[in-house]
Chains A and B, each alone.
Chain A
Amino acid sequence: MNLLGDIFLLIGGAFMALGSLGLIRMPDLYNRLQAGTKAATLGTLAVLLGIGFHHPDWWAKLLVIAGFVLFTNPVGSSTIARAALKSGIEPVHGGNRKVES
C-alpha cells in the first residue's frame, strides 16, 4: 500500500518536472501554458492519489482538493491565454521551431 503511494508520488513529481522543462523549452507563451497547466494538474492529482494511499482516512478532503484543482486550473490558464491574446502577444505559427534562449 505504502509502496503504491510512493510510486504515485514519484509519477507526480516526474510530471511536474517535465511540465516545468516544457515551460523552459517551449517557444511561446501559449505552448508554455499548455505544458505548465496539463503537467501541473496531472502531477498534483498523482500526488493527491499517492497521499491517499498513505492516509486512506483523508480521502474526503483529498477528493475536494482534487476536484478543485481539476476545475480551477484550466479556467486560470484560459484566462491568462485570453489576456495575453487581447494584450497583443502573437502566437508562433506553424512550422516555426525557433527556440528562444
Chain B
Amino acid sequence: MTLTVLQWVAIGLVAIAILLSTLRLLLGPTTPDRVVAADTLSVITTAGLVALASMFDNPIYLDIALVYGTLAFVGTVAVARAIEGNRE
C-alpha cells in the first residue's frame, strides 16, 4: 500500500524516538538507565508491530504485538529483579 504524507511524518518521528532511545541505551551511565531505554524501545516496538499489521493489512501481526508486549514486560521485570537482588 502507498503511504500518505502524514504517515511518512509519523514514521519519521518514531524513527527519531528509536534513535534517541538507542542513544540512551548506548550512553546510559548505569545499568538501570539502559533498562529504562530498553523498556521504552520495547513499547515503541509493540506500537510498531501494530502499525505493521495495518501496513500489511494482516491482523496476525496484532497477536505478535500482544505476545511481544507480554514477553518484553516479563523481561523488564526479570532484569529489574536481578538488579535489585544483586547488591543485598
Write the residues of chain A forming the contact surface with B, with a CB cutoff of 8 angstroms.
Answer: 2-3, 6-7, 9-10, 12-14, 16-17, 19-21, 23-24, 29, 32-33, 36-37, 40-41, 43-44, 47-48, 51, 54-55, 58, 61-62, 64-65, 68-69, 72-73, 75-77, 79-80, 82-84, 86-89, 100
Contacts and interface: CB of A to CB of B under 8 A. Distances in A.
Given A17-B17, A83-B84, A65 B65 contact: yes
A42 B32 CA distance: 22
B interface majority secondary structure: helix
A24 B19 CA distance: 11
Contacts of A12: 10, 47
A16 B24 contact: no
The 9 closest A-B pairs by CB, nearest first: A13-B13, A20-B20, A16-B17, A83-B84, A6-B6, A13-B10, A36-B40, A40-B43, A84-B32
Contact of B83 (A21, A61, A83): A83
A98 B73 CA distance: 32
A41 B11 CA distance: 17
Contact of B24 (A23, A40, A84): A23
| Chain A interface helix/strand/loop/mixed | helix
A80 B43 CA distance: 15
A40 B37 CA distance: 11
A9 B7 CA distance: 7
Given A16-B44, A51-B54, A84 B39 contact: no
Interface centre among A3, A62, A76, A89 (most CB of B within 10 A): A76
Contacts of A58: 53, 59, 62
Nearest to A34: B36
A18 to B, nearest CB: 8
